[in-house]
Amino acid sequence: MARLPYDPDSPDEQSMLRQWKRWESGAKFPEKYKAQIAATFGSVTGAFFPEDNREARSQLQVVNDMDTVEIVARMRASDVDQATLDALRITVDRLCCEYAYMPAAQLLTEGRAWMGRVVAMLQQRVSLSQMRDLYALAGKLALLVGCVEYDSGDPRQAEATRRAALSLGEEAGHLGVTGWAYEMRCWFALTRGDYRGVIQAANDGITVAPHESVATQLYAQKAKAWARLGDRQQTEIALDKGRELLEALPYPDSIEDHFVVDPAKYDFYRMDCYRHVGEDDLAEQLAKEVIRASTDWDGTERAPMRIAEARITLAVAAARGGDLDGALAYGERALGGERQSIPSLTMVSSDLGQVLKANYSKAPDAADFLDHLRTLKGNSSA
């Protein structure tokens, strides 16, 4: 028979013996010493003194009393109706379309407010499919907010928001959101001058979402990095892969959406690459096409940030061709827009600054423009 290893003169052992005897008499389980008693019998606490699972058994009985149809119906039950989800999706798409021209502060306020509304919806009872949809919509809003934060010169907050978008995309199983989170990583690295980081982030994103629209932009970001590294062959390879993928995709329903890649947007990336590798005629041709495709018939600029970079390309081509006045006119117009992505505009404007320093170092007008560029760069790093 098993014996308890206790010292009768020890208060602790005496207390353990009293609890043992009360348990044997059917009074109640020992409050202490369960592990020691179970060990005496070569067992473990959970087996020797099982927990009272009456509440769990009661819940299980409720489930057992339901048929399969009722269980599925309860799983699908939701406090959020489909009309609400559809309206939310339309609103998110609208905000992403307004990225190109809405004032950054206003877009940031609206984007964050709608993220708060999505979080509130997630606190309600929603079905599994609705939860995935809400996570995906929250992820797209986070992408948008992160882009505007970066445009506004807040890279640390933008990176935190990008990581949140990545997590939400992974939770929702939404490859588009996940892929764009990697594309933002490419963009951040590119404007910092971390070109190898761009290539690594692009490769990671392509691995995750190889057949999504965002993959074409990831290839384009790789091309921009290779162009800045001076590798013309790798630049062309990346551009060709992106073009082939874009050609195989259906034409997008909404080309205004910032997170959609359309042919005109791809020309915009090609323009940047060819400006860097010195193909001025081709870069100039693409810049004019970008401006034409981004401007309405009445002269309204639908994509002012894209047009600004196209004007910088025209300015670089003019400066290299000996037309200083034309270069400065294009450059000042590019820097004068109300809706700006400061890091991106600073990056492409530095190309013009290098040409002006090299070819027009003694021209007073060029010096004034370079001062403007230094001010812009200071705002970017503030």
Quote the pTM value.
0.77
Q: Give the pLDDT score at 381.
A: 53
Q: Give the pLDDT score at 174.
A: 95
Q: Give the pLDDT score at 2.
A: 45
How many other CB atoms are found less than 10 A from the CB of residue 113?
Answer: 10
Which 8-state DSSP code applies to residue 301? Answer: B
Rounded CA separation 137/165 (Å): 10
What is the DSSP secondary-structure string of 170-182? HHHT-HHHHHHHH
Q: Give the pLDDT score at 68.
A: 52
Q: Give the pLDDT score at 63.
A: 45
Check if the beta carbon of residue 64 is closer than 8 Å to that of residue 302.
no
| 295 token code pair | 């401007």
Q: Give the pLDDT score at 284.
A: 94
pLDDT tens track, the chain, 382 positions? 444 454 444 546 677 777 767 766 666 666 677 777 777 666 667 666 666 555 445 554 544 555 555 544 554 556 777 888 888 899 999 999 999 889 999 999 999 999 998 988 888 888 888 899 999 999 999 999 999 999 998 999 999 999 999 999 999 999 999 999 999 999 999 999 999 999 999 999 999 999 999 999 999 999 999 999 999 999 999 999 999 999 998 888 888 899 988 877 888 999 999 999 989 999 999 999 999 988 888 888 888 888 999 999 999 999 999 999 999 999 999 888 778 888 888 888 889 999 999 999 888 888 888 888 887 776 555 4
Rounded (10°) CA dihedral 178, 182, 183, 187: 150
Q: What does each C-alpha distance from 226 to 194, 221, 273 come to in angstroms?
A: 11, 9, 9
Rounded CA separation 158/165 (Å): 10
Q: Residue 163's closest CA among 149, 142, 148, 140?
A: 142
Return the amino acid letter for 257.
Answer: D
| 141 Cβ neighbours under 8 A, 6+ residues apart | 92, 95, 111, 114, 115, 118
Q: Give the pLDDT score at 371.
A: 85
Q: Residue 262's closest CA among 246, 278, 280, 273?
A: 246
| 336 token code pair | 């004068």
